[in-house]
Structure 1
Amino acid sequence: MQELVESFERFWSSLLPDRWPSFNQFVEAMDPVAWTLVALLIGAVAVGIFFSITTRRTFLRADEVEATPEMVLARLKQDPTRLSPVGIVSRLGADATLELLEYGDQIRTHEWRYKWSSVREELLRLLSQQNAFGPTYALARYYRSADNQEPDTLRIRRTALIHKLGTVRHLEPDADNNPAELRIRCHPAEVEGDLGFDGPTQWLLPDEPAPPPNGPVIEMDPIDFRTLQDAELHLHIRRTPMVGGGFRLQLQKRRNMWVVVEEEMEWVS
């Protein structure tokens, strides 16, 4: 036991500062290789500290990892381009994305619409790619097609109208302030109803002549049902006699709710 105590005392005394070599002795003992290793160590520590600080600040500023969905939604309502559409759907989920879609369609300023148009289009595409109940139900509520008591034809046409014009279902008047008009070519047995369009609506038979338009015109062709669950609708938007575009929309019925799953531009002028 006494030998163990003496060994510990000798070890402790060897660690005392007065036994350590002085700074000058350290310097004199260093050779070029040792100095190179010291310089590399100091450089590595400095680089590590620099990148740890700058990387941490960048992530917090750009991605806002600690932000709640409510905070993210509030910021997106100020600028919808703060996150990519994929990031919006993944961070917010279907219900909050629906709230953003509803909000975005109500803002009519040119700056907002310039940013919002492409974001909205991509959000609708991303939600339509998911066959789960949540995204499908969110889309059905956005398209106002969740009511199973309504005829499918009405829900399909309302879905197509909102898909192209937004929930406000409004098309700006022409330069002479003539309001836009909605013309629907339908089968004789098709049930007519209110699509919520902000302007006059005419229901016409496929071969029925229509009067010359006085302003912008939106035309819907008869619905082409491929199956009971799949439909196709051609829609034409003419802002002036020389400016417009034609679109082909494919819709699917998922869980008794109609959603747009594909859009193709057929012509533009």
Structure 2
Amino acid sequence: MATCDRCGTQVGMPYRCRFCGGSYCEEHRLPESHDCPGLEEWNDPSGVFGQYEEEEERSRVDRAVDAVSATGGPLGYLRGNATYVFLGLMALTAFAQYIVAPLFGVAVNSGPWVDLFTLNTYNLTFVYPWFVSVFAHGGFGHLLFNGIALYFFGPPVERRMGSAKFAALFVGAGVLAGLAQVLTAAALGDVAAVYGASGAIMAVMGVLTVLNPGLRVYLYFVIPMPLWVLTLGFAAYSLFVTGFFGPGSGGVAQVAHLAGLGVGLLYGAYLKSQGGRGPNQLQLGGGRRGPGGGRGPF
């Protein structure tokens, strides 16, 4: 409880005046109600009135954001379900790649198709491929493998981070991974085209590795090992292939994998410095379906 500096009333949630720093009840929250020194600035066009108008405008924006992201709001479905939203976007993008585009005369792997769905040397400055390429994939096998990895590793990391931060990590790491691949090829005098969520998923895997390196996982669903061994092995393989055969050897974006993993390891270290750790075991799925279906941060 706090005491109103004007009338002495006990207030559970006092208003703090930004001009004089005092605490006031609702009745005395305005400058003119508590003889605020800021009243002297009312003749200044950039003084009290303008600043209160700005605060009022910000409060409207805050209320609007709260309304769409609250339970039952339009963004409420994203709470705890960002992993499944991304899985859905991956499937929809694949549908657009292999079903819709050919119906409109854009043949798979043709020049226009590549420009639409990949980030490549020639469309690097268009920006939209930075994001589309994260969800596009090179066939059913590519989509299936990435989808399985995201399905297992995504939910526990999302629960730890909150859906909004998880979404930012996934998309941001995916974009940076694609750019790293194309720019590395350009620096070596080569051309490149990249697509797929592998870089983003490697970031998720990196976060989980830092939070709980001893987490037991199964390579190919059969071979048990700690997560740190799987991550280290994957990184070593990508480094070896990149060093001896090139960044895009075998049609695999090795640099993108390494860049995504690097982003995840760095962000995982930051999260660990804030306290807490990751899950003790992986679960099948584990998301919270429905609008605002869970507790925890958005």
Same fold (TM over 0.5): no
Q: TM-score by structure 1 length?
A: 0.27
- Considering fraction of residues, name the structure with more strand: 1
- Considering fraction of residues, name the structure with more helix: 2
Structure with the larger RCO, 1 or 2 (CA within 8 Å, 6+ apart): 2
Structure exhibiting the larger radius of gyration computed from Cα positions: 1
